[in-house]
């Protein structure tokens, strides 16, 4: 009997779903401080914010300057503020966004072996929008925690469940879905760029025989996808973060938030936090996609061993 290799059989939808959520959580554990630094840099310059009421302005300079300032002023734990909501977000968000991507892509190609760029883009937009609709409340809470100054006694939120309750009580149930529009736009861009670029780079490397479908190929594809995604998605990401973190009534909508940024801070404001965003997304992509590929193979091997009689 020929030995079974996990790569010989395409992974099932369940394997992809579980693998994507698990891999995304692992990636978040490694890269969360960079994401928190990105949020702090993105909201810097706002005149008012519900997260830092009662505190003087804190100046952040660069990725590692932001991280060192947060550790000095608020303590090391501040770098992981909002982690619980972040993991909740990844388990629900990434499972749909990444785990269903191949299945939705096959739906758009109607079973054809040829997968064009249009089908990849439509699959990316579809799963991205579905994921945002499901996971938006967790994203709102995550951003609020990351933006909240942890030093002092005037913290607005004192726990993940308290944050959900406070936002729903003060801003209504719709407050938990605040910023859904820009977040769908941001994630349509991220999903299309990230998954499609990863898909294309990986296919090109394998078809040109430059690399095999293994760890170096996954690493290279993930890093390239991270850079392309950061360049394209950064402006929408900044607007999304600002709007989700804004005080009630501060902006009439996401477009008003973008116009206010442009008027008061200039075009460069849309690329605030670019370096931590790239470092975070690049490293997140590498950890997530490499872990995801390995988990898919391990889960398929385990499934084969379970269903195959001894």
Comparing CA positions, the residue from 154, 150, 141 lying closest to residue 53 is 154
55 has pLDDT over 60? no
66 has pLDDT over 80? yes
Does an H or E element contain 214, and which? none
Averaged over 118-141, what is the pLDDT?
87
Averaged over 224-233, what is the pLDDT?
88
If DSSP codes are grouped into helix, strand and coil, which group holds residue 191?
helix
Owner of token pair 């994203």: 139
Owner of token pair 């801003």: 171
Question: How does residue 53 score in pLDDT terms, banded at 50, 70 and 90?
Answer: very low
| Region for residue 211 given its phi and psi (left: phi exceeds 0; alpha: psi -120 to 50; beta: otherwise) | beta
Query: Tell me, what DSSP letter sits at residue 70?
Result: H
Comparing CA positions, the residue from 246, 257, 256, 42 lying closest to residue 144 is 246
Q: Tokens standing for 131?
A: 């994921």
Averaged over 58-62, what is the pLDDT?
76
- The reported pLDDT for the residue numbered 148 is 84
Question: How does residue 57 score in pLDDT terms, banded at 50, 70 and 90?
Answer: low
* Class of residue 233 by CB neighbours under 10 A (exposed 0-12, middle 13-18, buried 19+): buried
The stretches of the chain forming alpha helices (DSSP H) are 13-43, 63-74, 83-97, 101-109, 117-147, 160-171, 180-207, 215-245, 254-265, 274-307
Domain spans, the chain: 95-178, 180-272
With contact defined as beta carbons under 8 Å apart, do 154 and 54 qualify?
A: yes
- The reported pLDDT for the residue numbered 5 is 53
CA distance 270 to 235: 4
Mean pLDDT score of the chain: 83
- The reported pLDDT for the residue numbered 25 is 92
Per-residue pLDDT tens over the stretch 254-290: 889 999 999 998 998 899 888 888 888 888 888 888 8
With contact defined as beta carbons under 8 Å apart, do 92 and 17 qualify?
A: no
CA distance 135 to 109: 27
Find the Cα–Cα–Cα–Cα dihedral 31, 35, 41, 42, rounded to 10°.
150
With contact defined as beta carbons under 8 Å apart, do 170 and 79 qualify?
A: no
With contact defined as beta carbons under 8 Å apart, do 197 and 229 qualify?
A: yes
């Amino acid at each position: 009997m020929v030995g079974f290799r996990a790569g010989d059989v395409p992974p099932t939808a369940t394997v992809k779903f579980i693998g994507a959520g698990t891999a995304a959580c692992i990636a978040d554990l490694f890269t969360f401080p960079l994401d928190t630094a990105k949020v702090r840099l993105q909201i810097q310059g706002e005149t008012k914010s519900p997260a830092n009421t009662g505190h003087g302005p804190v100046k952040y300079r660069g990725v590692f300057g932001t991280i060192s300032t947060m550790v000095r002023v608020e303590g090391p734990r501040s770098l992981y503020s909002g982690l619980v909501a972040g993991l909740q977000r990844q388990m629900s968000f990434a499972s749909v966004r990444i785990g269903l991507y191949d299945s939705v892509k096959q739906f758009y190609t109607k079973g054809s072996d040829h997968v064009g760029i249009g089908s990849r883009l439509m699959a990316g937009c579809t799963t991205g929008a579905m994921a945002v609709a499901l996971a938006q409340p967790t994203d709102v809470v995550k951003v609020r925690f990351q933006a909240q100054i942890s030093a002092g006694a005037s913290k607005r939120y004192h726990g993940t469940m308290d944050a959900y309750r406070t936002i729903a009580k003060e801003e209504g149930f719709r407050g938990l879905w605040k910023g859904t529009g820009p977040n769908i736009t941001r994630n349509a861009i991220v999903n299309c760029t990230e998954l499609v670029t990863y898909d294309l780079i990986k296919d090109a490397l394998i078809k040109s025989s430059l690399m095999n479908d293994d760890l170096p190929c996954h690493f290279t594809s993930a890093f390239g996808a991270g850079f392309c995604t950061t360049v394209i998605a950064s402006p929408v990401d900044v607007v999304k973060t600002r709007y989700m973190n804004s005080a009630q009534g501060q902006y009439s909508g996401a477009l008003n938030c973008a116009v206010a940024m442009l008027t008061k801070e200039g075009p460069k404001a849309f690329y605030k936090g670019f370096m931590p965003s790239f470092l975070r997304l690049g490293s997140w992509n590498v950890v997530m996609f490499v872990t995801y590929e390995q988990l898919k193979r391990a889960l398929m091997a385990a499934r084969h061993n379970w269903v195959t009689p001894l």
